[in-house]
Homo-oligomer: A and B are copies of this chain.
């Protein structure tokens, strides 16, 4: 921590600051400039973070030196981490496409979608059983019935399943069915929920809040990791800005910034990023080019009949075209894109997941 004083600071004020910092177990180092004094604080900066130093007489500015996140940082783990999504590793050489409907609607549409996206190279299946909706009058998901359909989709398609959990009381239930627990954008700072998924041993797919800086996102990951669950996959999905031509502003630069700051894998969600199906291909290609580890894409057999997000969902033909178009960009980025269905079903991993009910 670096503390900068106001011009005209008194020696008493400097002493008061030093004493307070030293009482927290740090050493101080004084550097006197023309008008201001700079107080360097040497030691465990974490102890100073909550101190309202700007309230101290004579203090003008305070600059932290360390990042506020630890486990998520490249300083903690210099090499990139891969996180398992069923049999697939996210964050490695393979560019992993996770596709599926916004919500699980019926068994028929869900299974058809899973089979189709698997046949075209998707390596994960997404679908919401519990849906956060801005209006209380919108469809909010099938709940446990939806989870059972997802488990069936996994069996039939061979794809591991990612689904959202919104309520700490449902983490255990969702973890029984899902290969990865999705934390949605609106819950990125739902701290009890983050702690609860941190206590499971399921991988967590953490979507960036539409108000969140990159630092906020990494601190949210830190909440999960601090509970002992280091398997976190991040996902850029757009932030809220003044631009109204798109549903959100897809913050492409966050992808390379995250790849530099953290060892965790980073996906991109081109469906929410743009909010329109015609933007899904260019945003997907760009995300691959910028170094993303994969995509989260909404696909529906008949988007014009979808119960949610139909405007940004691809139909089967559009998804096939996306995968075809994506291949050369993934190759240019030095990654592999799967072709055709997965070779084997995801492993049954014992009692913790409902792989056949």
Q: Which residues of A contact B (CB under 8 A)?
A: 2, 4, 7, 29, 31-34, 36, 38, 40, 42-43, 46, 49-52, 54-56, 61, 63, 65, 68-69, 75, 132-140, 166-169, 186-187, 189-192, 195, 209-211, 213-216, 219, 222-223, 226, 239-246, 249-257, 260, 273-274, 276-279, 282-283, 285-291, 303-304, 306-311, 313, 328-329, 331-333
Contacts and interface: CB of A to CB of B under 8 A. Distances in A.
A217 B313 CA distance: 27
Given A7-B75, A328-B328, 10 more contacts: A2-B2, A29-B38, A54-B276, A55-B304, A133-B191, A186-B191, A215-B245, A253-B283, A255-B282, A282-B289
Contacts of A36: 65
Contacts of A333: 285
A273 B253 contact: yes
Residue of A209, A240, A283 with most chain B CB atoms under a 10 A cut-off: A240
A310 B46 CA distance: 16
Nearest to A139: B50
Contacts of A75: 7
Contact of A256 (B65, B239, B279, B328): B279
Given A169-B169, A209-B211, A242-B241, A306 B249 contact: no
Contact of A332 (B215, B242, B308, B332): B332
A267 B173 CA distance: 39
Nearest to A130: B192
Nearest to A209: B211
Nearest to A333: B285
A289 B268 CA distance: 15
Given A213-B244, A328-B331, A279 B304 contact: no
- Ranked nearest first, the 4 interchain pairs of A and B with the lowest CB-CB distance are A52-B310, A211-B211, A328-B332, A286-B286
Contacts of A136: 191, 195, 219, 222-223, 226
11 contacts: A33-B65, A49-B138, A52-B313, A55-B277, A135-B222, A136-B191, A137-B226, A239-B241, A245-B254, A249-B249, A329-B332
A154 to B, nearest CB: 25
